[in-house]
Structure formats: structure tokens, C-alpha cells
Structure 1
Amino acid sequence: MSYNKRPTQKNDTLNFKITKSDELLPFLLSQMSNRSRNSVKSILTRGQVKVDDHIVTKHNYPLRPGQSVSVLKNKVAVRENVLIGMEILYEDKDIIVINKDAGLLSIATEKEKHRTALHQLMEHVRRQDLRNRVFVVHRLDKETSGVMMFAKSEKVKRKLQDNWKELVKERTYVALVEGKLEQREGMVKSWLKESKTHHMYSVQDKNGQLAITHFKRIQHNDKFSLVELQLETGRKNQIRVHMSDLGHPVVGDKKYGAKTNEIGRLGLHAKILSFHHPVTNQLMLFRADVPKPFYSKSK
């Protein structure tokens, strides 16, 4: 076999470089032959496996040459202080700012209650004091990566949500979209409505929620474009709908018309969040590096 039989080890993580097409579970079983099939499946289920910095739990996830697979070791994952699929960028007595991986839910759903950013942060703060809590201020879609903020009290949550436009100074996203975006920069303005099937769509009759997105092309080729986006409003699926409206849906976004899934995830990343601290009023800026495949696919 042409796989790397000697994975590199860094920070309690096994790292593999893919040299041959395969599916994720069979690949892991071949590389972790000292473990039982059930043990390897449990590692996948717990969210300990990333493909190109994207949490993957799907057993038959297709692997392509050139991709990187990393596995967080069991002994590390079960330690109380390890967060899976995210890292804390900043924390004080009022707020927590994280960098969330694609593939991690922000909050619980009917199907998944525990493997979420909120649940992990709740456990994190309760290690200091069982009375501590964490509150959702805004959300990122499961398949969107990047900067996200949480409040540590109901009072701070309300202040952030009630004064979001005044406190938040910059929300910059980067999207890998389909096709060659000819327009160097511009703005999309529409009113968004939600269908009974939870599909967002644009209307021009002002009956929906006003949504404004500013965009600037960073680089492109004939197949893909890398676009930087500034949100003037923060509506559900706003960027995904607006890029689809332009005829350039976000890569991997089948829901809004994408025909490709070249990077194995949604091509959307929250790069910068800048805001005035809700208690100290200090201007803060947090940045999460853009995933490398976004750049390589749009060169």
C-alpha cells in the first residue's frame, strides 16, 4: 500500500497524508490495526477525526490524494480539559470567543445533544464552579468554521443581542464559491423569507427581513472564486442565499444550488469578528485563519 505507514505525531495527535483514494473508516482501520473496529468507530463518532481541519464522523467519507487526516488520541480526548472541534481564542468573566471547526454544531439539535460547542463550553466553565453557565449570542452553521462568541451570563447575552449593531464593528467571512466571479466587488441587497421547509430565499417586496452583504473578490480561476464578505445584517443563511442569487453558490452548498463539493465541506469561514466588549467597552478583534483548501482551489 502507498499510504504513509508512519504517521507523524504532534500534540497527542496522529497525522496522516493521503496518497491514495479510499473511504475514511477502512483507511483508519488499516492505519490503526492495533485497535478493534468498534474502537475506531467510536473515535469517529466522538468527533476525534479531522480531514483537512474539518471534523468528519461519516464512515464512508471519501478521501482523496493530498488530503490530511488527523486523529486525536483517546487518552487526550477523555481528559476533562480537551475541547473537540474548537479552540478558545479568548475568555474572561463575561465572554468566551472560540474558533469553531467545520462539522461541529453550535448548539444542540434533536439528533445531537452533546457534541456541540455550547455543551463543551458549558462543561468547561462548570469545572471551576457548577453554577457557571454559557449562553448563545449568535450562531454559525454546522459546516461553517471560524470565529464565534458566547456570553457567560444572561445579562451579557441580552446586552450583546440588544445592541448587536452598535457593539459589533466587523464581521468578515471568506467563501469559496463556484464559477469565475467577474465582478471585483459589489453589494447584494434583498429581503429574506423562510419557506415551510426552512429554505431561505430572497424577495424584493420588503415583506421579509432586510439582508445586505458586501463582497470583494480575492482571487479566482475558471472553476472557483475566493470571496471576502462583510455582513451589514446577520440573517439566517444570508451569505449562502446571496451568493446563490449572484449565480455563484458556495462550494458544497447543495441546499442553495452548488453542484460541487471539492473540499468535502461547506466553503464558508468566519474570518474576523470585531466588537466593543459588552462590559469594558474595549474594542476587540479576533481572527481565524482561512482554511488552506479555500486558497488552493481558487488559484
Structure 2
Amino acid sequence: MKAFTSYRVAAEHAGLTVEDYLKTIHHYSGRRLQKLTRRKGILLKGKSVFLQKKLHSGDLLQVLILEEDTSKLQPEKGPVEILYEDAFLLVLNKPAFMLVHPTGRTTNGTLANYLAYHLQERGQGGTIRPVHRLDRETSGCVIFAKDARSQFLLEQQLKEKTLRRTYWALVKGVVTPPAGTIEAPIGPHPTQANRGAVQAQGQPAITHYRTIRNLGENSLLELTLATGRTHQIRVHLAHLGYPILGDGMYGVRVPWLSRQALHASRVSFHHLQDNREISVDAPLPADLTRALELCERQ
């Protein structure tokens, strides 16, 4: 049975082509769109549609969930820390400096490669399906679905905001007010490639934050995402005037931290069988624990 992800086109996205909508709003790659086109896996109002078709407000776009060719994902022996597992999914603790899955020219050394090996050793080979992503330098919780149906249901929870992601960030400055909501649209940076920026014509982006504690001239924040734009937390905090320590792209480099001080501390979701709420926590890694101690002593 084929499974589809459904998107209802918002008024502000009316006029975009199917291709632009899926690429810019939902971050589909060109290669993935080619695969979907070959399989007639993009439906508008229940019928196959070509990529240059313009969308209208309220249109229902359905996109086939692909069973990726796992022969291209080379299983590799490597660290896999399982924080939670059931019949439908796993939550892994991603170390900093590791990609979630192969991208671009990087085909090995990712969390997906290591999970493929781990499952193969168990006799549980199959498609590796990350439900969401983390930046290379960000540590913490990542959810992997075990089958296409579970992936679809978890992606629906993401859209409906019943799957929640919580982060900790160490930022420069004493945040005022100590709790609040950052609501500022994010789009591509006008002059710098691969960066985001707050801009009026960007996509809606909402981040909630609260101060856990002040540490001298710095603050430890807890943040939750109401939307999932690329680099959202990093862009929003820099825009607010409290950049993340160690973030070489948007924040402030410091000699005592080799990466951005951002950690995916918790994921919460509804169990796919009995609907009970489950929360999974990832412990703060040693480098960020040391960073907090150093800030407290300053």
C-alpha cells in the first residue's frame, strides 16, 4: 500500500509552482522530485500533476513517501546510542559533528550509516527513515521511523504540532525578557549562500523560549519550535541580539568551544499504537556541560 504526505497550500504560497513549493517550503531535493515525477508520485486534487503547475490557496498536494534504495546507503560500524525504541520508531542521540544522513558528496560516516549497520547486525535490515534533521554540529534527539506508515504518521504529527522538539542553547547576553516568542519570517540570505535571514518576504517562523538560568554575561535557554525552518533557532536568536556561543555562521566564536552550543534535549510525540504521550530526553554532552561550568565561573 502506497503512503502519501499531504500538504494544504496556504494563502501566502498561492502562485508558486509545485516544484518551487516543494523545494522552498518543504525542502525537497531536485533528485527526489525527479524520482517522484517518474513514479507519478505527486498528486494535486488526487491526480498526477506536472512540476510547473501553479498552486492555489487551499489546494491539497499529496506526495508519495518513497521507499529509498538502501543499497546506496552503506552500513558502517559506528556509535549508535538508542534513547528509546518501540515497534514503530527509534530515538537516537546524535553526537555533534555527525550528519544525520548522507548528503551531497558525504556518503558515509553518518548516523544513518551506523544505524543501518546496527539494524543489519540484528537481522533487521530495511530503509533508514529519519523523520527530521539536525545540523551537523547540533547534538541530541533524532527520530527514525521503522517503516513507511510510521514515517507518514510521525510526519503528520510534526505538521499538527503534536510531535514537539525542545532544544537547549547557550547564548551571549542576559536575555530580556527572560521568556517569550520570536515570530519573524525567515528566507534565504540576500548575499551569503547557504544562510538564512529574517526578512519580510520569508516563510513564517515561530520560536518559543525561556531562560533556564543566567550564567554571568551569558544565558542558558530552552527553546521549542512551532515551525521548522532551516537554521531557525540560530537565525532567530541572532536576530534577537543573543547569538549562540560557538556558532561560526550566525553566532559568536569562543576559544573554549569547538561548535555551536545547541542541543536537541527532548522530543515528545504520541505513541503510534495507543496514542499515549511519550517524551524522550538526551543528556547534555560533556563539551556543553564544561561550557556551562566555565560560564558560571566567569
Query: By the TM > 0.5 criterion, same fold?
Result: yes
State the aligned residue count: 217
Which residue does 1:266 correspond to in 2? 260
- The Cα shift of 1:169 comes to 4.6
What do you get for the CA RMSD once the two structures are aligned? Answer: 2.2
Q: CA 1:221–1:130 in 2, change beyond 3 Å: closer, same or farther?
A: closer
Instruction: Decide which of 194, 198, 202 is 2:198's aligned counterpart.
Output: 202
Which residue does 2:123 correspond to in 1? 129
Which residues of 2 match residues 93-132 of structure 1 at below 5 A?
93-129=87-123, 131-132=125-126
- Separation of aligned partners in 1, 2:175 and 2:157: 34
Instruction: Decide which of 283, 292, 297 is 2:294's aligned counterpart.
Output: 297
Which residue does 1:211 correspond to in 2? 205
Say whether 1:252 aligns with 2:246: yes
- The Cα shift of 1:212 comes to 0.7
The code of the aligned residue for 1:295 comes to: L
- Separation of aligned partners in 2, 1:274 and 1:107: 22
Describe the superposition over 1:119-147 as per-residue Cα deviations: whole angstroms up to 9, x where unpaired.
Answer: 11112222333652220110011110111
| Alignment check: 8 A CA contact 2:234 2:251 kept | no
- Separation of aligned partners in 2, 1:289 and 1:130: 27
- Report the structure, 1 or 2, having the larger strand content: 1
Q: CA 1:285–1:257 in 2, change beyond 3 Å: closer, same or farther?
A: closer
- Separation of aligned partners in 2, 1:104 and 1:111: 14
| Alignment check: 8 A CA contact 1:263 1:293 kept | no
3-state DSSP class of the match of 1:188?
strand
- Separation of aligned partners in 2, 1:114 and 1:146: 20
- Separation of aligned partners in 2, 1:115 and 1:210: 34
- The Cα shift of 1:82 comes to 6.2
Which residue does 1:276 correspond to in 2? 270
3-state DSSP class of the match of 2:160?
helix
3-state DSSP class of the match of 2:221?
strand
3-state DSSP class of the match of 1:216?
strand
Percent of aligned positions that are identical: 35
The code of the aligned residue for 2:82 comes to: I
- Separation of aligned partners in 2, 1:220 and 1:270: 20
If the length of structure 1 is used for normalisation, what is the TM-score? 0.66
3-state DSSP class of the match of 1:226?
strand
| Alignment check: 8 A CA contact 2:98 2:137 kept | yes
Q: CA 1:172–1:131 in 2, change beyond 3 Å: closer, same or farther?
A: closer
If the length of structure 2 is used for normalisation, what is the TM-score? 0.67
Moved over 6 A (4+): none
Q: CA 1:172–1:108 in 2, change beyond 3 Å: closer, same or farther?
A: same
